């Protein structure tokens, strides 16, 4: 007589599996959007992903896999941020063409100078993994503004961020921190001047503390820099 | 949302802003009514282009800067159609 296999009551559910990519046992910030999908949609994502991977075995291309991930990221995030809705859009016209303007830069990519580590929560030399593990603390904290001179040695530029996969910007800061791009555009006269320093902060932060405690001082600081316009790069 | 609040704050303080968002967060720029926004067809965390792709990075930055000269009202959103491509920097 053959024993009948009993259901494993400890088996992981699809809900638990998909959520584990969001700061869980399988944390992968490229795929944290899975938590926002229903179990059925997450299952459909994996079905399509495996299908594309299978087809790529023969044709060798990866573009369709990348497009699939992109499409499902869009779908996964479509419900995010909708609580911060406004009725009107502020607008001031620049006083002069951008080719004559002093351009300031502020990113939420989490870059900082090696000699000016913000040491979140008093932790020195916090690693990326440690930052991701403390995402909840970051989301309750006031963001710190990092000051980065434009003549910084590229080897002194650091990045750490609890909210996104920094491997891409670690390979090339220009992915989210366009220092060399803007230096070239200044040299060609596309912009009048690149303002120094540039600025960055960790965008995974308390929105209330950002607006009420940090932002007023940031505005005052960049006004002192004398910028005409401001380029913002979120991640 | 963070950069959305920053953009609105600076614009309300008299400093014109432009923001570069990836497509997954286009709706954030729209519901937050940002002054000027460029949207890229890039995965999250790679707003300007792939690592080692200075051509794409420049295209995106030029499109963003161009909005300072061309936008005439808040809430201007321009979507760049170029699809994602990996850069030249290997792991």
Digit-coded pLDDT (tens) for B6-58:
999 999 999 999 999 999 999 999 999 999 999 999 999 999 999 999 999 99
What distance in Å separates residue A16's CA from the closest CA in chain B? 23
Is the Cβ pair B66, A172 closer than 8 Å?
A: no
Supply the range of the domain harboring residue A71.
14-77
Is the Cβ pair B45, A172 closer than 8 Å?
A: no
Clarify whether residues A24 and A62 are in a common domain. Answer: yes
Give residue-wise pLDDT tens across range A104-130: 999 999 999 999 999 999 999 999 999
Q: At A148, phi and psi to the nearest 5?
A: -130, 105
Residue pair B6/B18 in contact by the 8 Å Cβ criterion: no
A221: in domain: yes
Clarify whether residues A102 and A71 are in a common domain. Answer: no
d(CA B32, CA B75): 9
Clarify whether residues A108 and A224 are in a common domain. Answer: yes
Is the Cβ pair B25, A80 closer than 8 Å?
A: yes
Residue pair A19/A25 in contact by the 8 Å Cβ criterion: no
Residue pair B10/A216 in contact by the 8 Å Cβ criterion: no
B66: in domain: yes
A157: in domain: yes
A204: in domain: yes
User: DSSP state, A91?
Assistant: -
Domain count, chain B: 1
Give Cβ neighbours of residue A5 (< 8 Å, ≥ 6 apart): none
Give residue-wise pLDDT tens across range A162-220: 999 999 999 999 999 999 999 999 999 999 999 999 999 999 999 999 999 999 999 99
Clarify whether residues A124 and A28 are in a common domain. Answer: no
Angle (nearest 5°) at CA A163 between A207 and A16: 110
Angle (nearest 5°) at CA B20 between B14 and B22: 145
Give Cβ neighbours of residue A165 (< 8 Å, ≥ 6 apart): A28, A29, A30, B44, B45
User: Is the model's pLDDT at A1 over the cut of 50?
Assistant: no
Give residue-wise pLDDT tens across range A123-133: 999 999 999 99
Strands (E), B1-75: 17-22, 36-41
B15: in domain: yes
Mean pLDDT of A92-103: 98
Output the pTM of the full model.
0.94
pLDDT attached to residue B88: 82
Clarify whether residues A103 and A69 are in a common domain. Answer: no
Clarify whether residues A20 and A56 are in a common domain. Answer: yes
DSSP 3-state assignment of B41? strand
Provide ipTM, 2 decimals: 0.97
Residue A35: alpha-carbon gap to chain centroid: 17
Domain count, chain A: 2
Residue pair B39/B22 in contact by the 8 Å Cβ criterion: yes
Q: Provide the chain B residues 70-89 that lie in CB contact (below 8 A) with chain A.
A: 71-75, 83-84, 86-87, 89
B91: in domain: no
Clarify whether residues A63 and A104 are in a common domain. Answer: no
Give residue-wise pLDDT tens across range A6-32: 656 679 999 999 999 999 999 999 999
Pick from A85, A87, A222: CB nearest B15: A222
Supply the range of the domain harboring residue B63.
2-80
Is the Cβ pair A228, B16 closer than 8 Å?
A: yes
For residue A207, which residues of chain B lie inside 8 Å, CB to CB? Answer: 1-2, 5
A82: in domain: no
User: Is the model's pLDDT at B90 over the cut of 80?
Assistant: no
């Amino acid at each position: 007589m053959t024993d009948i296999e009993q259901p494993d009551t400890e088996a992981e559910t699809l809900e638990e599996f998909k959520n584990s990519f969001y700061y869980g046992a399988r944390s992968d910030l490229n795929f944290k959007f899975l938590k926002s999908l229903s179990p059925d949609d997450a299952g459909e994502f994996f079905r399509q992903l495996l299908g594309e991977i299978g087809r790529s075995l023969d044709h060798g291309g990866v573009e369709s896999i990348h497009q699939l991930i992109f499409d499902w990221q869009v779908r996964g995030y479509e419900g995010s941020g909708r609580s911060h809705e406004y009725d009107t859009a502020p607008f001031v016209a620049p006083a002069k063409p951008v080719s004559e303007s002093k351009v300031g830069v502020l990113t939420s990519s989490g870059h900082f100078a090696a000699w000016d580590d913000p040491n979140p929560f008093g932790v020195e030399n916090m690693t990326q993994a440690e930052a991701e593990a403390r995402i909840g603390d970051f989301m309750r904290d006031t963001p710190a503004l990092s000051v980065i001179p434009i003549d910084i040695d590229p080897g002194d530029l650091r990045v750490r961020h609890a909210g996104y996969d920094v491997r891409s910007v670690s390979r090339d800061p220009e992915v989210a921190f366009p220092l060399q791009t803007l230096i070239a555009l200044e040299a060609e006269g596309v912009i009048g001047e690149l303002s120094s320093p540039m600025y960055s902060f960790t965008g995974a932060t308390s929105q209330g503390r950002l607006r009420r405690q940090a932002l007023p001082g940031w505005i005052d600081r960049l006004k002192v820099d004398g910028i005409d316009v401001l380029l913002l790069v979120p991640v | 949302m963070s950069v959305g609040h920053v953009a609105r704050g600076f614009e309300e303080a008299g400093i014109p802003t432009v923001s570069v968002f990836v497509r997954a967060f286009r709706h954030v720029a729209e519901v937050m009514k940002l002054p000027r926004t460029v949207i890229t067809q890039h995965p999250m965390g790679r707003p300007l282009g792939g690592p080692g792709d200075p051509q794409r990075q420049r295209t995106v930055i030029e499109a963003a800067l161009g909005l300072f000269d061309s936008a005439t009202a808040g809430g201007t959103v321009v979507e760049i159609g170029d699809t994602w491509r990996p850069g030249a920097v290997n792991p």
